[in-house]
Structure 1
Amino acid sequence: MGLGAVMLGFFRLFFFLMIGLTVVYGAVSLYSREMRRAKLKRRWAEKGLTGDRAAFIQRGLRRYDHSFRRRLILLVYVVPLGLIATLIYMVNFR
Structure 2
Amino acid sequence: MFAPLRLLFILLIVLTVVYVLVSLYSRAVRKSKLRRHWKQKGLTVDRDEYVQRGLKKYDGSIRRKLILLVYIIPLGAIGLLVYVMNFM
TM (norm. structure 1) is 0.92
For the residues of structure 2 that align with 1:41 and 1:62, how far apart are their CA atoms? 14
> Structure 2 regions of 5+ residues with no counterpart?
none
Residue 55 of structure 1 corresponds to which residue in structure 2? 49
**Which of 1 and 2 has greater Rg?**
1
- The Cα of 1:50 is off from its aligned counterpart by 1.3
For 1:21-36, list aligned pairs within 5 A. 21-36=15-30
- Aligned residue in 2 for 1:38: 32
Give 2:82's aligned residue: 88
SS of the residue aligned with 2:40?
A: helix
% identity of equivalent residues: 58
42-51 vs 73-82, greater mean Cα deviation: 42-51
Q: 2:62 aligns with which of 50, 64, 68?
A: 68
Q: Output the CA distance in 2 between the equivalents of 1:58 and 1:51.
A: 12
Shift of 1:51: 2.6
Q: Aligned pairs, how many?
A: 88
